[in-house]
Amino acid sequence: MSSKMFDPFFAPLCETYRYRCIAHDRRGFGLSEWAGIDGAEGSVINYDVFANDFIQILERLHPRNGFVLIGASIGCSEIVHALSRSSYLRDNCKVSISSHGLSLSWTPSNTILRVRSY
């Protein structure tokens, strides 16, 4: 899978509605390399690494006026994991949209999965 699969959606969003769209390739997919934390062969790759990659991209680009996160397949779980790890994402993400249900359990201490009303 590559972020290129979203190009047909990005063109109208950018050209018609003037949204800035950022698509990232998950580590090992599309144009991304599959190297671990230290770049060495056999390095550990896990959800923390994927979430940190995602967090670093958005913190470095620092989109103005917040952003909307859209995930497909396992990307949905990565978004939730990144939100749980980054106050920057929680403070600036306006909406999160996923293409399938997550297999996460709600607990009183899990504030990420609480429903917010605006």
Mean pLDDT for back-to-back runs of 10 residues, the chain (118 residues):
79 83 78 64 77 90 83 80 90 74 50 44
Sign, Cα dihedral of 8, 58, 115, 106: positive
Q: How many domains, in total, are found in the chain?
A: 1
pLDDT of 86 reads 93
pLDDT of 100 reads 56
Give 50-63 pLDDT, tens digit per residue: 889 889 989 999 88
Q: How far is CA 35 from CA 22, 27, 43, 82, 91, in A?
A: 22, 8, 7, 19, 30
pLDDT of 55 reads 92
CA atoms within 13 A on the CB side of 38: 5
- For the entire predicted model, the pTM comes to 0.67
Sign, Cα dihedral of 45, 51, 54, 60: negative
Amino acid letter, 34: W
The CATH number assigned to the domain holding 101 equals 3.40.50.1820
Range of the domain at 55: 3-35+43-113
On whether residue 118 sits in a domain, the answer given is no
On whether residue 65 sits in a domain, the answer given is yes
